[in-house]
Amino acid sequence: MDRRAIESEVLTVLRHHVPKLRPADRWLALELKADLALESITLVVILVELEERLAIEIGEDVDLAQLRTVRDLLDLVAGLIE
C-alpha cells in the first residue's frame, strides 16, 4: 500500500468523525485537537478503526500526546505498514 492509499484511508476514517473534512493543501498540518476538535478517547476510536481497516496493530505504547497533527497520525500508520 503506498502513502497516497494510506492517506486516503486515514482521511476516510477521520471523516467519520469530522464529516466536513476535505483534503486541502494544508490538511496534513491540521491539528487533531484544535482544528478537528478530537479528544484523546476519540483518537483511540480512530486508531481502532484504522487497525480494523488496514489490518495493522497499534501497540499499547503509542503516545497520544505525540499525535498532534494529521501528518503525525499518517506517519504512525504508514510506519506500521511499511
Q: Which stretches of the chain bind another protein, using CB under 8 A?
A: 16-20, 33-42, 44-45, 47-49, 60-65
CA neighbor of 11 nearest in space, from 24, 2, 20, 23: 23
Shortest Å distance, C-beta 62 to another protein: 6
Q: Which is closer to another protein, CB of 3 or CB of 15? A: 15
Shortest Å distance, C-beta 16 to another protein: 4
Q: Which residues pair with 69 in a beta bridge?
A: 31
Shortest Å distance, C-beta 77 to another protein: 15
Asked if 63 and 19 touch (Cβ cutoff 8 Å), the reply is no
Distance CA 34, CA 56 (A): 27
